[in-house]
Amino acid sequence: MDWIKILSAVFIVAMLVFLWPRVGQMIRESRKGTINEWLWVGLLLLAVAAFVVFLMQSMHSTVL
């Protein structure tokens, strides 16, 4: 295993150690969203996903 992989693993573990205590705090402090609010978020993220697929398709079609 090369040094870049080892350092990347150390970096990710450090991020996990740092973020872990904040997860519980965020879950406790976040208010509960309604079904309608989650639906809106889902729609927006779906639009982002569709846009990324469009970019991938346009990249692929220029190669062909």
Residues that bind another protein (CB under 8 A): 3-5, 7-9, 11-16, 18-20, 22-23, 26-33, 37-38, 40-41, 44-45, 47-49, 51-52, 55-56, 58-60, 62-63
Q: DSSP character for 30?
A: S
* Token pair for 34: 């309604």
* Token pair for 12: 């990710």
Give the nearest distance from C-beta 53 to another protein in angstroms. Answer: 9
Q: Give CA–CA dist 31/15, Å, rounded.
A: 25
Give the nearest distance from C-beta 33 to another protein in angstroms. Answer: 3
